[in-house]
Amino acid sequence: MPSTEPRGPRQIGRAMIWSFKGLRAAWIHEASFRLEAYLFVIFFPAGLWLGQGAIEKSLLCGSLFLVLSAELLNSAIEAVVDKVSPEFHELAGRAKDMGSAAVFMLMINVMLCWGLVLWQRFA
Please indicate whether residue 5 is annotated as part of the active site: no
Contact status, residue 66 vs residue 106, Cβ threshold 8 Å: yes
Q: Which of 5, 30, 71, 78 is catalytic?
A: 71
CA dist 54 and 40 (Å) reads 18
Query: Which of 107, 78, 71 has the alpha carbon at shortest distance from 94?
Result: 78
Q: Which residues are catalytic?
A: 71
